[in-house]
Structure 1
């Protein structure tokens, strides 16, 4: 979950500098004829310039392997990929949700759902992709039919304070967490009521994210108070609460065949928990000094994290090792999601943009990291193939 759901003041600072042009003595004296040496130098410069242009042309002619960026009119609060079709749902601060049909060539608006009176904070598709779940600052929960855009079900005043996140568990159950640390469980089979079937408040701050495993045994909830709260879904009761960290737990993910829980923090750390050992973390790995706003599992051992400095970084979890920069935004990177076939991820920036990054190369990531293992100076900031920011040295290797 990105920090976009909370109030943030960010300004883009652009540094500009004027380059000085020096004039040599030979240039100042226009009456002197060109020597043979000058002529040779000019020919070499022209040849080098031609090679540079060829290298740039090769870069530009590469076929795009991901959809083009989407620039939105309003601030983006969340995104969610459809589980089966090439559809991306985009929630915004106006309370609307826009459905895009995406492809490598173009992105087309399928529908605009005017859902909530205030900012839509979190969205998620049902497992079959037929329903879009959304929560908003107006405290409501809405279930919308994806094909028709019509409202299926509406929960008014679902929480005493605005809901912050929502997670779909199965065909019948979903859960929500709010700004005050309350978690609620909902059952679609119960008709003619807007009451939850279970409610628990153990946290002193907002619920940032909620996950569960395939067996739906436990519900894991991260919070801004720095702790994890675990709920026994089978018994519908509180299970355990972890020790508190001195920083916010901002997002969650499952790894290593659901044996490891990973949480990002507001200070740029990755906190590890063992499944069934929710009370105490097993390890902490500092990755950056800026906040982690969102994370997405790429493989059982690789995570991509979105940072407040605008970078998307890939990390190998076991052993802990930075793999490089996947992509970047001009301002804070807020939300992440991975598409249904796993070929690329999408990220949102604080300047209303959505960018797509092809991540198929992670299947051969060991070859990528092996190539650069001796280049310690560039190791941590190595830009992976998805990143638009090119390493200058790598670019000019094409000229040799």
Structure 2
């Protein structure tokens, strides 16, 4: 499992301008309600009087006054259309400043195929994108733009999980075709091929170190692999559940491998003894994702019903804390600091939660459709997320190290709606605060 380095570092949003319009009102109060105007009788006299009045007005109006009136009319029309704005207006200044602010994250990546997984390179500014076609695309990213480096045709069916080796030279991938591939990141050449590594589609993969990795499949089976062996057989295999293995995680000692399962159980495998160490009772819904916190002393599991469960490391039989997360399913999670998790799911919104003490910090970013995958860059500067829209968005996360959490009474509903600096939507109170 890759280690994450946290470093310390407001994304301004697009604001709309209300158009100013001038309305006209016709006053017919002098016309009796039960009477009508005979337009045919009065048309001749009206046209004659109107002609005389216009001639007189034209004679009495000087050229200077006429020019001034035209200027006023032009200014009024422009103001009504929103074309001419007061340069000294504080609102205008704030809007201009927002538009001119330099972007502090890479632009979105748009693809035609469905994205199944994303993974940051452990050393370089590169991100790998797994696709439903079985291909893996590699992009170099920066604030100025993204560049497609290569596309590797690896699997015949949907690629489900990808991970870089610790030094980033090898790309590990699993697929619905039951196979495991080890591909050279630079050349795209196949380094190792595990054909029919599982009897059913492989759901997830986790790298333990330079030589070993584990995989979990749709039938609840976990297998350990060692690249130093010449055979394509696993070191050992163990069945944990009747449902899929959703996520796997370990700490730096690699003594225990913790697995979340689709049947709602959390299982810990003793890697030395190669047997199940402990397994929880079934929770009310699927356990979907895992994260390590507090210097690897706490592990948090997200669930399909939006709840978050905290376990002490080594005490995996029962959770020590339970947090109310979202009303929707939590599908993915990334730790951004030792105390802060960013979670997302069916509503397409990325939210940050401080765990110790527990407090919802607000919205990190948003997609228009459900989010399936998230990852954090090797330097901790960016979070990337992919959604059903076949897009990848980047969120600057450097401000998290400076966040101070107060223990005063919290407003959960307000906190969940609060937009953080990385969000594409700003809080109205923050925007107008700049005008004071």
Range class of TM-score, shorter chain: 0.7 to 0.9
Deviations 1:65-91 (A, max 9, x none): 111110111110100000001110000
Of structures 1 and 2, the one scoring higher in RCO (CA 8 A, sep 6+) is: 2
1:266 aligns with 2:304: yes
RMSD: 2.7
Task: Determine if the alignment matches structure 1 residue 312 to structure 2 residue 350.
Answer: yes
Secondary structure in 2 aligned to 1:380? helix
Aligned to 1:202: 240
- Report matched runs for 1:276-291 at 5 Å: 276-291=314-329
1:4 is matched with: none
Kindly name which structure, 1 or 2, has the bigger radius of gyration based on alpha carbons: 2
1: CA distance, partners of 2:109 / 2:88: 34
User: CA shift at 1:203, angstroms?
Assistant: 0.7
What SS class does the counterpart of residue 417 from structure 2 fall into? Answer: coil
2:271 maps to: 233
C-alpha distance in 2 between matches for 1:376 and 1:309: 17
> How far does residue 399 in structure 1 lie from its aligned partner after superposition?
2.9
Alignment partner of 1:96 is 2:135 = yes
1:217 aligns with 2:248: no
Alpha carbons 1:122, 1:165 under 8 Å: kept: yes
Q: Pick from 380, 403, 414: which aligns with 1:378?
A: 414
1:158 aligns with 2:194: no
Q: Tell me how far 1:239 sits from its aligned partner.
A: 1.2
Contact 1:222 / 1:250 at 8 angstroms: preserved in 2? yes
Q: Which runs of 4+ in 1 moved over 6 A?
A: 372-377
- The answer to whether the aligner puts 1:72 opposite 2:111 as a matched pair is yes
Question: Is residue 2:161 matched to residue 1:122?
Answer: yes
TM-score, normalised by the number of residues in structure 1: 0.87
Aligned: 1:109 with 2:148: yes
What secondary structure is seen at the aligned counterpart in 1 of 2:93? Answer: helix
Distance of aligned partners of 1:395 and 1:269 in 2 relative to their CA distance in 1, 3 Å threshold: same
Q: Distance in 2 between matches of 1:46 and 1:79?
A: 45
Instruction: State the TM-score, normalized to the length of structure 2.
Output: 0.80
SS in 2 for 1:396: helix
Counterpart for residue 332 of structure 2: 294
Which whole-Å CA distance do the structure 2 matches of 1:258 and 1:374 have between them?
27
Residue 377 of structure 1 deviates from its aligned partner by 6.4
2 CA distance for matches of 1:258 and 1:314? 19
SS in 2 for 1:362: helix
- 1:215-244 CA distances to partner (integer Å, 9 max, x unpaired)? 111000101100111111112222111111
Q: CA deviation at 1:266?
A: 0.5
Q: Quick one: distance in 1 between partners of 2:419 and 2:252? A: 34
The total of aligned residue pairs comes to 369
- Give the Cα–Cα distance (whole angstroms) in 1 for the partners of residues 199 and 88 of structure 2: 65
CA drift at 1:374: 8.0
User: Which shifted more, 215-224 or 45-54?
Assistant: 45-54
State the Cα distance separating 1:28 from its structure 2 match. Answer: 4.6
Q: Distance in 2 between matches of 1:277 and 1:373?
A: 31
Say if 1:28 and 1:227 are closer, same or farther in 2 by CA, change over 3 A. Answer: farther
How far did 1:379 drift?
2.8
The farther-off stretch of 58-67 and 113-122 is 58-67
The runs of 5 or more residues in structure 1 that have no matched partner are 1-18
Match of 1:355 in 2: 393
Provide the rounded CA distance (Å) in 2 between the counterparts of 1:290 and 1:329.
15
CA distance in 2, matches of 1:102, 1:376: 35
Q: Matches of 1:149 and 1:189 in 2, distance apart?
A: 21
- How far 1:64 moved relative to its partner? 1.2
Alignment partner, residue 390 of structure 1: 426
Q: How far is the alpha carbon of 1:284 from its aligned partner?
A: 1.0
Match of 2:175 among 124, 136, 142: 136
- 1:8-50 CA-to-partner distances (Å, cap 9, x unmatched) read xxxxxxxxxxx9x9985x4457xxx9xx9xx9xx89x954995
CA deviations on 1:271-295 (whole Å, 9 max, x unpaired) are: 1111111111111101110011100
